[in-house]
């Protein structure tokens, strides 16, 4: 077992931290050989200062310089695909094909190249001339950007290779990447190529840096530090909101994509029209990737009646029969256990699943729960507890008039969906639900699952 160094100020250096951790193969629950450090505040501060120096050095550079780095980085990733895919599979249990090799890695390098094009043509600056007020404005670099990557996209959302990283660099900002503890080895492989690309394109020493893990309190200090320009975070809602609070108190921009329950309203006419197809569509969406997407449909709202009872029974059977996938980590499994327990404690009943096991390694049985619309309205906050994974809650309203009430107590979500009949019989109900739901979601979808 070897302790991996951190990347600070253009060099790999032994960490000053005394705490370490290892990645765990979620399919076997065996620890992987390398260990990684938890960086102390002194080390984090060194990275901040190096990034600030790099920001000063690149100030005024043409976009071509950043484009060359991004393109060179993408070019260096391509021949390392086999190593990246193999290690990411070990660390996350995500399938090699098609997920990692055919979908996510090509998406990652494409993002880097698209960001290079934006850096080169300057389109990200969005120059605007207000002739009436005689005001000319444009976006510009903001300074060092901290990027936190999630557990479920080890390539395309990684702190040192993903979309937030690419966007920050395209805009001329140094990046301090905070790796995710589930896939530190994969992140290290990316960082090796990022450093080499930075050196080959003559970027400043502190332009790209990597820390594997920090103490929670130090993460809050990092995002609120005076020398940090902004933060990008993708991941769990609870952690993201803590970081947002710290950044907000310091007046620092922070951009977050948080986990979400993505409510789906299935109106009576749609259910009468195509219940079998909707059961297939929902099951596929909810169980895809073992439910480990931020847009997973974790809440389905229906109107009570015989067709709803039949629909729920069909989905219950499909969930029980579907294979149980491996989760990204034991941490995800434990989080799912806690989430389901909280939802049950709030009054929901388990239809199928509701316990760990049924698959390989870190796993949890495909789970469906149900609760009445009245109970949901009475305990809405608890019944919206995050249960990230292969789990969803059916809310059965007593009538269509209760649907907008349910929509009105929802927390903020990435998406919301409404399924309605094609013959316009649901239009009146749709018109009561959509205006309310729209205020609680980032994207309002019609007749399609959020994944």
Task: Write out pLDDT tens, residues 105-136.
Answer: 999 999 999 999 999 999 999 999 999 999 99
Residue 444: band (very low, low, confident or very high) from pLDDT cuts 50, 70, 90: very high
Does 74 map to a domain? yes
Domain final position from 258, 273, 294: 258
Active-site option among 71, 104, 220, 257:
257
Domain final position from 239, 258, 277: 258
Q: Do 234 and 158 lie in a common domain?
A: yes
Say whether 294 is catalytic: yes
Looking at the structure of the chain, the number of domains it has is: 2
Task: Write out pLDDT tens, residues 43-70.
Answer: 999 999 999 999 999 999 999 999 999 9
Residue 208: band (very low, low, confident or very high) from pLDDT cuts 50, 70, 90: very high
User: What's the domain range around 283?
Assistant: 263-446
| Whether the predicted pLDDT of 1 surpasses 80 | no
Q: Do 203 and 280 lie in a common domain?
A: no
Does 133 map to a domain? yes
Residue 259: band (very low, low, confident or very high) from pLDDT cuts 50, 70, 90: confident
Backbone angles phi, psi at 312, to 5 degrees: -60, -40
Task: Write out pLDDT tens, residues 31-50.
Answer: 999 999 999 999 999 999 99
Does 410 map to a domain? yes
Active-site option among 43, 71, 273, 294:
294
- Give Cα separations from 280 to 57, 283, 388 (angstroms): 55, 5, 21
Q: Residues 48, 222: contact at Cβ < 8 Å?
A: yes
Q: Do 336 and 412 lie in a common domain?
A: yes
Q: What CATH number did the domain enclosing 99 receive?
A: 3.40.605.10
Q: Do 209 and 224 lie in a common domain?
A: yes
Does 451 map to a domain? no
**Coil, helix or strand at residue 7:** strand
Distance CA 124, CA 19 (A): 40
Residue 448's beta-bridge partner residues?
A: none
Radius of gyration from C-alpha coordinates of the chain: 23
Q: Quick one: average pLDDT of 281-305?
A: 96
Q: Do 282 and 355 lie in a common domain?
A: yes
Q: Do 222 and 350 lie in a common domain?
A: no
Q: Do 253 and 273 lie in a common domain?
A: no
Q: What is the pLDDT of residue 310?
A: 97
Does 13 map to a domain? yes
Q: Do 199 and 282 lie in a common domain?
A: no
Q: Do 252 and 267 lie in a common domain?
A: no
The 10 Å Cβ neighbour count of residue 42 is 9
Q: Do 126 and 95 lie in a common domain?
A: yes
Task: Write out pLDDT tens, residues 362-399.
Answer: 999 999 999 999 999 999 999 999 999 999 999 999 99
Instruction: Give the DSSP letter of residue 127.
Output: -
Q: Do 285 and 239 lie in a common domain?
A: no
Q: Do 346 and 198 lie in a common domain?
A: no
Does 1 map to a domain? no
What is the percent of the chain where pLDDT is above 90? 98
Distance CA 152, CA 289 (A): 9
Q: What is the pLDDT of residue 115?
A: 98
Q: Residues 17, 43: contact at Cβ < 8 Å?
A: yes
> pTM of this prediction?
0.93
Domain final position from 200, 224, 258: 258
Query: CA nearest 284: which of 179, 366, 186, 175?
Result: 366
């Amino acid at each position: 077992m070897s302790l991996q160094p951190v990347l600070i100020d253009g060099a790999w250096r032994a960490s000053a931290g005394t705490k370490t951790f290892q990645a765990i193969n979620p399919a076997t629950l065996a620890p992987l050989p390398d260990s990684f450090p938890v960086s102390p505040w002194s080390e984090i501060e060194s990275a901040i200062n190096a990034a600030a120096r790099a920001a000063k050095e690149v100030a005024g550079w043409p976009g071509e310089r950043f484009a060359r780095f991004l393109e060179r980085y993408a070019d260096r990733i391509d021949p390392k695909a086999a190593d990246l895919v193999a290690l990411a599979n070990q660390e996350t249990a995500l399938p090699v094909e098609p997920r990692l090799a055919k979908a996510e890695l090509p998406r990652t390098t494409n993002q880097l190249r698209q960001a290079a094009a934006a850096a080169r043509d300057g389109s990200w600056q969005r120059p605007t001339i207000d002739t009436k007020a005689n005001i000319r404005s444009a976006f510009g670099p903001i300074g060092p950007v901290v990027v936190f990557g999630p557990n479920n996209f080890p390539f395309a959302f990684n702190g040192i290779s993903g979309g937030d990283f690419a966007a920050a660099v395209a805009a001329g900002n140094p990046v301090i990447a905070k790796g995710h503890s589930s896939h530190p080895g994969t992140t290290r492989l990316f960082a090796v190529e990022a450093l080499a690309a930075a050196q080959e394109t003559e970027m400043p020493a502190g332009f790209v840096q990597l820390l594997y893990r920090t103490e929670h309190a130090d993460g809050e200090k990092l995002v609120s530090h005076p020398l940090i320009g902004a933060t990008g975070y993708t991941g769990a809602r609870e952690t993201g909101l803590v970081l947002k609070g710290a950044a907000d108190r310091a007046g620092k921009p922070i951009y977050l994509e948080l986990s979400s329950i993505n409510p789906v309203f299935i109106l009576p006419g749609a259910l009468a029209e195509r219940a079998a197809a909707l059961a297939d569509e929902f099951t596929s969406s909810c169980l895809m990737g073992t439910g480990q997407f931020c847009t997973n449909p974790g809440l389905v709202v229906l109107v009570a009646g015989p067709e709803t009872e039949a629909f729920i029974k069909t989905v219950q059977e499909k969930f029980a029969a579907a294979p149980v996938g491996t989760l990204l980590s034991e941490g995800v499994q434990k989080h799912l256990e806690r989430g389901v327990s909280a939802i049950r404690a709030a009054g929901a009943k388990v239809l199928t699943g509701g316990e760990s096991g049924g698959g390989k390694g870190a796993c949890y049985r495909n789970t469906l729960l149900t609760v009445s619309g009245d109970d949901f309205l009475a305990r809405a906050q608890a019944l919206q507890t995050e249960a990230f994974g292969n789990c969803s809650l059916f809310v059965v309203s007593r009538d269509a008039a209760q649907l907008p009430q349910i929509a009105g107590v929802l927390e903020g979500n990435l998406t919301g969906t409404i399924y309605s009949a094609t013959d316009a019989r649901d239009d009146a109900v749709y018109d009561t639900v959509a205006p309310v739901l729209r205020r609680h979601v980032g994207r309002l979808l019609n007749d399609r699952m959020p994944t």
